[in-house]
Amino acid sequence: MNYKIVAIGGGSGLSTLLRGLKKYPLDITAVVAVSDDGGSSGKLRTELGVLPPGDIRNCLVALSEEESLMAKLFQYRFPKKGSLSNHSFGNLFLTVLSAISGGFDKAISNASDVLAIKGKVLPVSLENVSLKAMLIDGQQIKGESKISKSKKAIQKVEIYPKNAKVSNEVIDSILKADFVVLGPGSLYTSVIVNLLFDGVLPALKKTKAKKIYICNIMTEVGETTNFNLTDHISAIEKHSYKEILDVVVVNNGKITTPVAKRYAKEFSVPVEVDTNRYKNVKMIRKDFVSHTQYAHHDFEKLAKTIFSIIIEDKRK
């Protein structure tokens, strides 16, 4: 039996998770944030009015065959000189496909066929939205790219317009899911932002799916400066509802000294696992650190743990 899993997020975290999950007998739906306004995605969004294609592209590639020539083609980025500077081929492909196929959702569906992906990739909404953050000092910042660069703590985030609706296909996927996974990824701009669309929280309350949160390995300047695990969970509950989570997955592996020193220069440190105060939440603590120059999740370790959580739950 292929259990239905909905993975919600954005940025590199979601694609990392998908890269591992596709190797297991799962019916995967990726729900991707659409508030990105920086880089290639931001340029295409501003100039052509399309939804930001970058995170969508990464998720499509993550669910495709890694050896695929088309997957490599989608990730190709043009040189920094010229009119196509910093654009990826995949972003341009999705933009053109959106124009000729009659919509961004149809473009994603067609691209999914081209890449022969395992699963489904859905934008959380087809509406054009911006993200706004209220900082701890009362200042307001609009735009995901500016929020990500802010070095001041975030108190709350909102989408604009506030009544932007989640897509019906996303609601249907959540209601039919066996498991919903939030993260990994930037807490506010990749995870929480998806919870703000009209219709998401009622669907999460109604579904029988177990909700799993994958906490980041490191803190992020501004978004989660000095945040421990409790702070991460509290922020999610503040933007959704109490006891939304059933399982929390958190790293307890060691970061190598050279990597830790490099992150420390940017005031980024490992997230402290500080508490067991969430009595109704099952905590999974394991070593998820990848053996690279970055303190990222190892996609194979992470996917193996998520699948074991699913199997253990279904055996009960």
Q: Of 123, 147, 171, which residue is a domain's last?
A: 123
Which residues of the chain are under the pLDDT cut of 50?
Answer: none
Claim to verify: residue 145 and residue 95 sit in the same structural domain:
no
Q: HSE on the CB side for 52, CA within 13 Å?
A: 25
Q: What are 52-107's pLDDT values in tens digits?
A: 999 999 999 999 987 688 888 899 999 877 777 778 999 999 999 999 998 999 99
pTM here is 0.95
Q: Which domain holds residue 94?
A: 35-123
Claim to verify: residue 70 and residue 151 sit in the same structural domain:
no
Backbone angles phi, psi at 194, to 5 degrees: -70, -20
Q: Of 80, 95, 123, which residue is a domain's last?
A: 123
Q: Residues 6 or more apart from 60 whose CB is under 8 A from it?
A: 74, 90, 108, 111, 112, 115, 117, 121
Domain count, the chain: 2
Peptide bond into 161 cis (omega under 30): yes
